[in-house]
Amino acid sequence: MDNKKSPASAAKGKAVQDKTASAKSGGGAEKKSGAASSKAPAAAPVKPYFAGIDIVKILAVFLVVCIHFFLYNGFYYTPLTNTSAYGPIAFRWIAYTCVPLFMISTGYLMKNKTFSAQFYKGLIKILVIYIFISILCFKFKTHHYNDEFDAWRILRGYLEFDGAQYGWYINYYIGLFIVIPFINLAFNGCKNNKQKFFLTAATLLLTIVARSLYLGFDQNDQIRALPDYMNGAWPLAYYFTGAFIRDCPPKRNIRNKCIILGVFALATWFITWSTYTQTVADEINDNHFVSWHFNDYGTYPVYAMATCIFLLLFDITTTNKHVKFVLRQLSGVTLALYLMSYIFDNMFYGGWQMSPDSPHHQGFNEKYMEVGVKLGHWYEIIPKIFICSLISAIIIHKLYDLGAYLVKQGIEAIKAEKNARDTD
């Protein structure tokens, strides 16, 4: 008998084997699928938070407290004839970038704002906080300096923005805020980044550079290098700079950061050297701090320094939610902190007491008499003023938020009552 299988039986046997193998592989796949489904799903990556702009704003308001350190400690009335003055002069100029940093930040944050009622509602919070802090400043001046305020003087203080002593910035900011949607139309209306660059550069040249670039070395015989009729519009140069950085940020790498840091160091050295040289030569004014053309926020060395600081910090990111929360809280109260620092400046530099019968708290200028000694003890006064102003600013914002919530609830209750009456 022949032992070979017929083709039909062989095919049948192969089909049975294939079915058995398929069943085994299918069972293995089901087991693997079940094992995979039993595992926890992978967590989604945390989106990084761009914390740099918050850091810039916090640094800017800290530098506000630093620049007032030079205002109150007698630095501007001290002869600067020794090379040891280089350090304080450089520190002073770095602190002087505080307001330009705020202006660049405004352009960065506001460049996409458009004309709407919702946008202009943003002024309400600014004005309410300004008015509230102005009342505190009036009370402080009455108590601390025995100043008297009638209704007209109070009104003038509000409208001239000196009710809160540092309120000049509110004056500037309201004017800018009103025209921001139209400034953005000009900037965003540019067809490409090249046009945006030339708009920013032209504004910079005709304002900041024009008002501070001179030809010649004799102060009495110098001439301006550019037409300067529009130089009063220098805040626009900072605004456009922030807007341009928002649209065309430099690539984030070590090489670019080193270049930016080098430009910052060069600009700081130049303005420090020129200030020291001009101060030493100014014997008529007893060698007091002087800068012929740069002692203003709208000058090209200050612009270069502020822009470099912004570029070094603006693109910092974090994924830590606690760090994000703290930074957002601090950066959200910078304006109130700025305004409130006036009260603590005057309390802690000159000394204070709660009442004529209460003990007198020694001021910084009473504790240290020499300016050089005061400069060496900056750490005793600057952090204290900053922290006290910060705590006060946080409280003021919380009070505003509470008041805004209560007003909103009241309006909604009135609307609900009116609707109920209409239905009846």
Whole-number pLDDT of residue 24: 44
H helices within 39-97, ranges in order?
A: 52-72, 86-95
Q: How far apart are CA 378 and CA 68, in angstroms?
A: 11
| DSSP state, residue 359 | P
Whole-number pLDDT of residue 31: 46
Spell out the per-residue pLDDT of the chain, length 424, in tens: 444 444 444 444 444 444 444 444 444 444 444 444 455 565 566 788 989 999 999 999 999 999 999 999 999 999 999 999 999 999 999 999 999 999 999 999 999 999 999 999 999 999 999 999 999 999 988 888 888 888 888 888 888 888 888 988 999 999 999 999 999 999 999 999 999 999 999 999 999 999 999 988 777 888 888 988 899 999 999 999 999 999 999 999 999 999 999 999 999 999 999 999 999 999 898 999 999 889 889 999 999 999 999 999 999 999 999 999 999 999 999 999 999 999 999 999 987 766 677 777 788 999 999 999 999 999 999 999 999 999 999 999 999 999 999 999 999 888 888 888 877 6
- Placement of tokens 């303005």 in the chain: 271
Whole-number pLDDT of residue 353: 66
Is residue 124 packed enough to be buried (19+ CB in 10 Å), middle (13-18) or exposed (0-12)? exposed
Q: How far apart are CA 249 and CA 312, in angstroms?
A: 11
Structure token pair of residue 300: 């090209």
Task: Count CB-CB contacts under 10 A for residue 343.
Answer: 23
Whole-number pLDDT of residue 25: 45
Q: Rounded to an integer, what is the distance from CA 212 to the centroid of its chain?
A: 25
Q: How far apart are CA 224 and CA 209, in angstroms?
A: 10
